[in-house]
Amino acid sequence: MAQDSDWAYAAGVMDSDGCIGIGKEAHQNMPHPYYFRVNIRVAQTELGALTWFKETFGGNIYIQNQPSENYQGKVCYCWTSRKRIVITEFLNGILPYLKIKRQQAETCLSFYEHVINHRARKNITKVERQAQEILCAKAQELNTCHKGNKE
């Protein structure tokens, strides 16, 4: 179980090296050509913090980029999770401590409120779909302008 200090540390890492958003993913054999998915990710060239994230919150680590000039010749690793329960617990845990990406986290949590039966995407209502479209656009805007809080 994560402590308050763990959530605060994770929020700081997410604010500096993380991404919180909603993406569209192609999906065949469904009424809609795509569906939406909440994405959380931390990218770093050192594995220490990412290993701690995986041990503390679950999720996975993968290699995002091979060594390149963008990362001073280092490999870039990512921690992420695609599990709704992990993402929801994680975002709720870091929310009180986020300074920059608070609106993105709130938008993603609101998105989950509009996905009642996330496994049966075939049965999504028109109202749910419209709400998802709006929240996805809002998340993309927040991440495009890199402003987080627009105060």
- Non-local CB neighbours of 70 within 8 Å, separated by 6+ positions: 76
- Domain definitions of the chain by residue range: 4-145
pLDDT bucket at 151, cuts 50 / 70 / 90: very low
pLDDT in tens, 95-136: 999 999 999 999 999 988 876 555 545 667 777 778 888 888
Domain 4-145 = CATH 3.10.28.10: yes
Predicted TM-score (pTM) of the model is 0.81
* 102-113 and 126-145 helices, crossing angle to 10°: 170
Instruction: Decide the pairing of beta strands 18-26 and 34-44.
Output: antiparallel
